[in-house]
Amino acid sequence: MTSAPLEQRRRLRPSGGQDQVFRVVLRCAGAAVLVLMVMVGAFLFSKAIGALRIAGWSFLTTEEWEPDSHHFGIAAVLTGTILIAGVAISIAVPLATGMALYVSEYVPARLRRLLINMIDLMAAVPSVVYGLWGFAFLQGNVIGLARWLSTYFAWFPLFKVTGADPRDPLATETVYTSSTFIAGIVVALMVTPVICSIMREAFSQAPIGEREGAYALGATRWGMIRSVVIPFGKGGMIGGTMLGLGRALGETIAVYLIISPVFVIQPHVLQNGANSVSALIALRYGESGPVALSSLMAAGVSLFVLTLVVNFAAGSIVARSRSGAESEG
Amino acid sequence: MTTVPHLVPGVRPEPVEPEERRVTATVSSADVTIALGALIAGISATALIYYWLAPFSGALGFVVVSFFMFLAFYASLVWLDGDGPAVRDRLVGAIVHGLAALLLLALFCVVGFTLAKGYKALVHWNFFTQDLQLAGPLQPLTVGGALHAVVGTLEQIGLALIITVPLGLLCALFLSELRGGFTRFVRTVVEAMTALPSIVAGLFIYATVLLILGFDKSGFAASLAISVMMLPIMIRAADVVLRLVPGNLKEASLALGASRWKTVRTVVLPTARPGLATAIILATARGVGETSPVLLTAGYSAALNTDPFHGPQVSLPLATFTLIKSPQPNVVARGFGTAALLLGLVLILFIIARVAGGRGPQDLSPRQQRARARQSARDVSRFARHHPAPAPQPVLPGIELYPARLPAAVVVTSTTSVGTSTTRDEEQ
Q: pLDDT per residue over B50-106, tens digit each?
A: 777 766 667 777 888 888 889 888 888 888 887 888 888 888 988 999 999 999 999
Domain residue limits, chain A: 77-276
The CA distance from B221 to B277, in Å, is 26
Q: Does A166 touch chain B (CB under 8 A)?
A: no
The CA distance from B204 to A247, in Å, is 19
**Percent of chain B's residues with pLDDT above 70:** 83
**pLDDT-derived band of residue B408, with 50, 70 and 90 as boundaries?**
very low
pLDDT at res. A275: 86
Q: Does A234 touch chain B (CB under 8 A)?
A: no
Per 3-state DSSP, chain B is made up of helix, strand and coil in percentages (nearest 5) of 70, 0, 30
- Mark whether B217 and B278 lie in a shared domain: yes
Q: Which of residues 43-62 of B touch A (CB under 8 A)?
A: 58, 60-61
Among the partner-chain residues B99, B186, B199, the one whose CB lies closest to the CB of A95 is: B99
- Mark whether B259 and B166 lie in a shared domain: yes
How would you label B399-427 residue by residue, b for 16+ Cβ within 10 Å and e otherwise?
eeeeeeeeebeeeeeeeeebeebbeebbe
This prediction has a pTM of 0.80
Q: Which of residues 299-338 of B touch A (CB under 8 A)?
A: 317, 320-321, 324, 335-336
What residue in A sits closest to B324 (Cα-Cα)? Answer: A132
pLDDT at res. A197: 86
Among the partner-chain residues A126, A277, A311, the one whose CB lies closest to the CB of B194 is: A311
Alpha carbon separation from B191 to A237, A238, B232, B234 (Å, rounded)? 20, 18, 7, 11
Looking at per-residue pLDDT, the higher value among B22 and A14 belongs to: B22
- Mark whether B151 and B110 lie in a shared domain: no
The CA distance from B72 to B264, in Å, is 59
Provide the 8-state DSSP code for B391. Answer: P
Residue B425, in any domain of the structure:
no
Chain B neighbors of A121, CB-CB under 8 A? 107, 347, 350
| Mean pLDDT in residue range B403-428 | 41
| Mean pLDDT in residue range B300-316 | 83
Neighbours of A186 (CB within 10 A): 27
Chain A nearest-CA distance from B312, in A, is 15
Domain with B63, as residue range(s), is 29-122
- Mark whether B87 and B183 lie in a shared domain: no
- Mark whether B207 and B312 lie in a shared domain: yes
* ipTM entry: 0.85
Chain A nearest-CA distance from B296, in A, is 7
Q: Which among B207, B343, B105 has a CA at the least distance from the CA of A50?
A: B207
Q: Which of residues 12-51 of A touch B (CB under 8 A)?
A: 14-16, 18-19, 21-23, 25-27, 29-34, 36-38, 40-41, 43-44, 47
Which of B334, B358, B382 represents a domain boundary (last residue)? Answer: B358
CATH superfamily of A77-276: MetI-like (1.10.3720.10)
Among the partner-chain residues B192, B249, B346, the one whose CB lies closest to the CB of A329 is: B249
Which of B333, B358, B383 represents a domain boundary (last residue)? Answer: B358
Using CB atoms within 10 A of its CB, is residue A24 exposed (0-12), middle (13-18) or buried (19+)? exposed
pLDDT at res. B145: 79
Residue B168, in any domain of the structure:
yes
- Mark whether B316 and B200 lie in a shared domain: yes
- Mark whether B282 and B170 lie in a shared domain: yes
B92·A225 Cβ contact <8 A: yes
Mean pLDDT of all residues in chain B?
80
Q: Does B421 touch chain A (CB under 8 A)?
A: yes
| Mean pLDDT in residue range B209-224 | 87
- Mark whether B103 and B160 lie in a shared domain: no
pLDDT at res. B8: 59
- Written as tens digits, the pLDDT of chain A (329 aa) is 455 667 776 665 555 677 888 888 889 999 999 998 888 889 888 888 888 888 888 888 888 888 888 888 888 889 899 999 999 999 999 999 999 999 988 888 888 888 888 888 888 888 899 999 988 888 888 887 888 788 788 778 777 777 666 666 666 777 787 888 899 999 999 999 989 988 888 888 888 899 999 999 988 889 999 999 998 888 888 888 888 898 899 888 888 888 888 888 888 888 888 888 888 888 888 776 778 888 888 999 999 999 888 888 887 887 776 544 444 33
Chain B neighbors of A95, CB-CB under 8 A? 99, 102-103
Q: Which of residues 114-143 of A touch B (CB under 8 A)?
A: 115, 117-118, 120-122, 124-133, 135-137, 141-142
- Mark whether B92 and B232 lie in a shared domain: no
Chain A nearest-CA distance from B172, in A, is 8
- Mark whether B40 and B167 lie in a shared domain: no
Among the partner-chain residues A44, A117, A132, the one whose CB lies closest to the CB of B114 is: A132
Count: domains in chain B: 2
- Mark whether B231 and B93 lie in a shared domain: no
Residue from B115, B171, B428 whose CB has the most chain A CBs within 10 Å, to mutate: B171
Q: Does A297 touch chain B (CB under 8 A)?
A: yes
pLDDT at res. B134: 73
What residue in A sits closest to B354 (Cα-Cα)? Answer: A117
Chain A nearest-CA distance from B5, in A, is 33
Residue B292, in any domain of the structure:
yes
Neighbours of A243 (CB within 10 A): 24
Q: pLDDT per residue over B333-354, tens digit each?
A: 888 989 999 999 888 888 887 7
Q: pLDDT per residue over B31-55, tens digit each?
A: 888 889 888 998 888 888 877 776 6
CB B270 within 8 A of CB B375: no
Residue B386, in any domain of the structure:
no
CB B144 within 8 A of CB B130: yes
Q: Which among B229, B235, B227 has a CA at the least distance from the CA of B173?
A: B235
- Mark whether B93 and B233 lie in a shared domain: no
Neighbours of A192 (CB within 10 A): 29
Looking at per-residue pLDDT, the higher value among A56 and B11 belongs to: A56
